Amino acid sequence: MATDERGHFLESHRLAVLGVDRDGKPPHLSPVYYVLEGDDLLVSVTKTRAKTKLITRAGRLSLCVLDEQFPFRYLRVEGPAYFESDGAAELMMRVGEKMQGRPVPESARPNIEERARNEQRIVLRIKPESYYP
């Protein structure tokens, strides 16, 4: 996939499967929604989940972005992953917009901020180093 085609694919899709290594076991896989920030992919996660602990230990992951329409193309992104404690509610607003296909109303922000606090949400930032195919 050419660089411009890859960027368009990532921008126009929303669903991915996140994979991270587990020592001596098959990879941990979980479906996630993501948004782009420059070349980085951002995912909302919680501090307390196994996925977060595994990513912290591994330091890198794979993300397989899926086309939800036939012929179901995909793009696998690999690279280091970092956690950020700031911006969780804003990311949830952006992900909600991408999931629904329309902006989340500002009136929903207080509830989303409370949910982010209660669920201990943080930002997972993926810095792509390689893409396949």
Closest CA to 81 of 32, 15, 120, 13: 32
What is the pLDDT, as a whole number, of residue 73?
A: 96
Domain limits, the chain: 3-132
The H or E element containing residue 64 is strand 60-66
Q: Which residue in this structure is represented by tokens 């992900």? A: 95
What is the pLDDT, as a whole number, of residue 2?
A: 83
What is the pLDDT, as a whole number, of residue 3?
A: 85
Q: In 3-state terms, the chain is what percent helix, strand and coil (to 5)?
A: 35, 40, 25
What is the pLDDT, as a whole number, of residue 1?
A: 81
Residue 117 CA to residue 28 CA, distance in Å, equals 25
Name the CATH superfamily for 3-132: Electron Transport, Fmn-binding Protein; Chain A (2.30.110.10)
pLDDT, tens digit only, all 133 positions of the chain: 888 899 999 999 999 999 999 999 999 999 999 999 999 999 999 999 999 999 999 999 999 999 999 999 999 999 999 999 999 999 999 999 999 999 999 999 999 999 999 999 999 999 999 999 9
- Going through 34-73 in order, the beta strands assigned E by DSSP cover 35-37, 40-46, 60-66
Its pTM stands at 0.94
- Give CA angle at 68 (3, 73), nearest 5°: 45
